[in-house]
Amino acid sequence: MKFLKHDTNKKLLALIIFFLILFIVYTVYYETILRKVLTKKNEYDEKLSDFTTQAIIEKLNKTDKLKEIAIIDKALLEERYYNLLIKNENLKKEKEALQNEVILLKSELEYNNAKLDGPTAQFRLIQDKNLQLRQLNDKISAICSRLQELNFSIKECE
């Protein structure tokens, strides 16, 4: 210690020791505070990862449920479509049968009317046909006269 007495100031040595002890105390204090903060941070990270995992699992479950609901809805719609398709085909067949029946009933009605009217209906039909023939002959005569005016001669017009 004589070495210390001669070369250094005791106050300076005490001050250095004080600051060294103060530095050690602060280092230990901040180290413990830092450890506490890190442990809390790790706890919060674990909680956050747990919440994230649960949220992802819930979302996956919801999408699975939605997929299941979509598959069920698709199956129900396909079944309804198939039933409506069968009903549509049945209704088309029924419509066709009814149309055939209407045609048959109309022809029977015409036959019965012709049978009841008998010769009178046939006479009217013949008169209509004769009238149509006269109109056609008049048109042919007009065409032939027009052709003769233009100096064309056709065998049928002579």
Residue 1 confidence class, pLDDT cut points 50, 70, 90: low
**What pLDDT is recorded for position 60?**
81
- Asked whether residue 132 is assigned to any structural domain, the reply reads yes
At 4, list the tokens.
Answer: 């210390």
Q: Tens of pLDDT along 105-117? A: 887 887 777 677 7
- Asked whether residue 81 is assigned to any structural domain, the reply reads no
Average pLDDT, the chain: 84
- Asked whether residue 135 is assigned to any structural domain, the reply reads yes
Q: Tens of pLDDT along 40-79? A: 999 999 999 999 999 888 888 888 888 888 889 889 999 9
d(CA 53, CA 47): 10
Residue 142 confidence class, pLDDT cut points 50, 70, 90: confident
- Asked whether residue 150 is assigned to any structural domain, the reply reads yes
Nearest in space to 32 (alpha carbons), one of 40, 157, 84, 64: 40
- Asked whether residue 126 is assigned to any structural domain, the reply reads yes
Residue 143 confidence class, pLDDT cut points 50, 70, 90: confident
What is the domain extent for residue 156?
118-158
- Asked whether residue 154 is assigned to any structural domain, the reply reads yes
Of the candidate ranges 2-11, 36-45, 115-124, the one whose mean pLDDT is the lowest = 2-11
Cβ count within 10 A of residue 148: 13
Domain count, the chain: 1
- Asked whether residue 99 is assigned to any structural domain, the reply reads no
Q: Are 143 and 154 in contact (CB under 8 A)?
A: no
Q: Tens of pLDDT along 79-102? A: 999 998 998 888 888 888 888 888
- Asked whether residue 70 is assigned to any structural domain, the reply reads no
Q: What share of the chain is helix, strand, coil (3-state, %, to 5)?
A: 95, 0, 5
